[in-house]
Copies of this chain bind each other. A is one copy, B any other.
Amino acid sequence: MKTAEPTNADTASYPLTARNRVKRRHDRGFYDHETVHKILDASMMCHVSYVIDGQPYCTPTFFWREGTKLYWHGSSASRMLKNQTAQQRVCLTVAFLDSLVLARCGFNHSADYRAVMAFGNAYLVTDPEEKERAGIAMVDRFFPDRTASLRETTAQEMKATSFIAMEIEEASAKIRAKGVADDDEDYELPIYAERIPVKTVIGAPEPCPRLLPGVERPASLQAYSEGRLLEDALTDAYFLQYPAS
């Protein structure tokens, strides 16, 4: 575990540096914990970038936040994790596509979106207590209190799983949420323009066909109901599990 170093946990914003400053469209950039964390906590999947022999890799994976730390996990045998254990630089990105924006010229075609880029050094979680906590959080952050109802994780399974953590050193959020934005004079043209909203929703849950008789869906899964926005379910689950976050 990292220990004595100063962290961003006590400040309300991530520091602004050459690395995380939103350069293009800087009016769309945010650095405060509230904005950055809200986007992170609404997502299950992120993309983690890392470098092996000068070649960048970008791997989609699940992650979760604890304070100003991010966690992800995978097989101890995976290339991604083997290369993220020695304080390696990584960039973890989360992005939501909120709409497609069709303007009156090609140049102003755009999208509404919310994205976070977080930078730091990845390290392998070796502290037994932190690893045990991460083993619970990887399930309960998404499905509150579910671990208590599950068959216990074996030592072998725990050994086969690596957890990677990263203290967020720098982060930025970039948000566009304004729909069609044409040049003033273009509004006078007889050209069709629109915003096409996009949303990621939950379908009808499919119980495992091999459930034992009498085993019912627990109330703790109510957040995941058909038609809900996935991000709303994930945000609700997050605050149930981490009420003080």
Residues on A lying within 8 angstroms of B by beta carbon are 19, 23-24, 44-45, 47-51, 54-60, 62, 74-75, 77-79, 89-93, 95, 97, 99-100, 102-107, 109, 111, 113, 115, 117, 119, 135-136, 138-139, 142-143, 146-147, 149-154, 157, 160-161, 179-180, 182, 186-208, 210-212, 214-218, 221, 224, 230
What B residues does A135 contact at CB under 8 A? 106
Closest 7 CB pairs of A and B: A197-B203, A60-B95, A49-B58, A49-B56, A193-B208, A58-B93, A49-B49
Contact (Cβ within 8 A) B157 A107: yes
Contact A190 to B215, CB < 8 A, known contacts A89-B54, A198-B203: yes
Contact A49 to B54, CB < 8 A, known contacts A194-B207, A195-B205, A196-B205: no
Contact (Cβ within 8 A) B197 A199: no
Contact of A95 among B45, B210, B230 (CB under 8 A): B45
Please report the C-alpha to C-alpha distance between residue A150 and residue B104 in the assembled complex, in whole angstroms. Answer: 6
Return the chain B residue nearest A105 by Cβ: B151
Contact A199 to B200, CB < 8 A, known contacts A49-B56, A139-B106: yes
Min CB gap A193→B, angstroms? 4
Contact A208 to B195, CB < 8 A, known contacts A58-B91, A109-B138: yes
Contact of A23 among B77, B109, B221 (CB under 8 A): B77
Min CB gap A181→B, angstroms? 10
In the complex, 11 of the A-B residue pairs with CB atoms within 8 angstroms, ordered by the A residue number, are: A50-B56, A51-B56, A102-B221, A105-B151, A106-B138, A106-B139, A179-B206, A189-B212, A194-B208, A196-B205, A199-B203
